[in-house]
Amino acid sequence: MDSANACYTGSPDITPQARTNRDVLARALSSAGMVNYPTEWWHWSFGDRYWALSTGATRTRYGTVELP
């Protein structure tokens, strides 16, 4: 199996158990408002620029932080 292709969330080149696990993860995290970066099954976002773009939000949910 080519690991690069298996990294995609919707990869057809994974085992049935891996597909089930990814589907469970996707349902749980999506229901919490997170969005998946589709080329990395493990990469989920909330409140950042990718999340805003994916959800149609007009801005991110957080801003820069000034360090002391």
Amino acid at 7: C
Q: 3-state DSSP call for residue 15?
A: coil
Report the mean per-residue pLDDT for the chain.
Answer: 92
Q: 3-state DSSP call for residue 44?
A: strand
**Whether the predicted model's global pTM rises above the 0.85 cut:** no
* Chain centroid offset of residue 59 CA: 18
Q: Is the separation of the CB atoms in 42 and 57 below 8 Å?
A: no
Q: Which of 19, 47, 20 is nearest to 33 (CA)?
A: 47
Q: Where are the domains of the chain?
A: 3-55
Residue-level pLDDT at 40: 95
In this structure, are strands 35-36 and 44-45 parallel, antiparallel, or unpaired? antiparallel
pLDDT at 1 over 60: no
